[in-house]
Amino acid sequence: MKIEFADFFCGIGGFHLALEKVGGHCVVACDNNPQARIVYEENFKKRTPSLFRKCFFFEDVFSIDPQKLPPFDLLCAGFPCQPFSQAGFKKGFADKGRGDIFFEICRIASELKTPILLLENVAHLVKHDNGKTFALMLKKLSDLGYATYHRVIRASEHGLPQHRPRVFIVCFLQSRLKRKAPPFQFPEPSASKITMSDIWGGCCDRDIGFTLRCGGRRSGINNRWNWDAYCVNGEVRYLSPLEGKRMMGFPDRFKMSINEKNAMRLLGNSVAVPVVRAVTASIISFANQWMKKRG
């Protein structure tokens, strides 16, 4: 089953890179961050020209008419995490334009009867408002006819040297599942590991690094909020976009022709590419065996 996918809240393209690795083809993308759009276009315009030539790289998800979209099998959405994050104000669905975006995903998926959904967010989403927010999300997805599965997965479980726990929600439209389909199984942790010494190309005092974040840069190596300063070969060094790309599983050649501050912010807000690749490989394997073909 060749997967055609939509890349909503695409950021700089972590989902896109991961899906390419398992044979996916992106037909729709959307993000409203101007800096992210620059990076996404400069990396994928030549690789997926139809996405841009046919004007399917949207800026505003609220303005999308699902009936005018090309067909796709999988909707990916790393929807905004700030409303549910420990570091944010935790307004949840009350955070207009961000917290309520989940319902836009549901609107599009419902109208198109999208066969598969892959959603990603901060791990704290599961506990937000004593679990009520997450329970409401799962109920909404169930009401739309989806069988849902979720797991908190750390980037360190798939070879990257940062913990970065994120919740992944995988949904299959039940009407497309074969009668005896078993429960979906998330991928097992990878045996391959790289360390922060590999990231730096020198001897680092930490094997597993701090989780990349969007704010608080240059706090100082002894500050409790530090996440970007390390002792490498006996000297204090700060993460640059190069090390940030490596920690997130992006290739060194990935283009980011924006200033360093914005590049680090976008990397901190992206997805861990090897984790997404492992999850989507499991999704495709499951779909090939247990889903009815489009007809």
Among 10, 76, 81, 171, which one carries the catalytic annotation?
Answer: 81
Phi-psi domain of 194 (left: phi exceeds 0; alpha: psi -120 through 50; beta: other): beta
Q: Whole-angstrom Cα distance, residue 186 to residue 113? A: 23
Cβ-contact 28, 70 below 8 angstroms:
yes
Angle between helices 273-290 and 14-21 (to 10 degrees): 50
Nearest 5°: CA angle at 89, between 103 and 248? 75
The reply to whether 106 belongs to the active site is: no
Cβ proximity of 291 and 171 under 8 Å: no
Residue 76 CA: distances (Å) to CA of 54, 105, 136, 142, 231: 20, 9, 20, 17, 37
Cβ pair 228, 210 in contact under 8 A: yes
Residues involved in catalysis:
81
